Structure 1
């Protein structure tokens, strides 16, 4: 059965992901200008956390796509 809550949450998660992407790039840009050590731990930590968050979003989208495909398949039968 299709989860209507998932369909509502998906645009919110995508917008959140876009906002965090913008925030991440802005922080790295500011950090690049003001931090004399361009490979410091703060940059590495933020980059790894952001990559982890994006991976979770990708997994969520894949699961929702499979759920939608299975729902469509069951309607066609």
Structure 2
């Protein structure tokens, strides 16, 4: 199943990039929020939480803010 999730995120980023938006990373810290938004879209056909979540990440990226923090190298 993880392959489908990766492909979905790849396609989402391809669509964003082809329209001039930055690539978007789903931060590990926000995984629960991401999964809840996906569940809401899947189970209730309510894409609003997912759309708002992705819009937030895109806006942060457009403002140059890092939403995903890379671990420090040793």
Fold conserved (TM > 0.5)? no
TM-score (norm 1): 0.35
Instruction: Name the one with the larger helix percent.
Output: 1
Structure with max Cα Rg:
1
TM-score (norm 2): 0.36
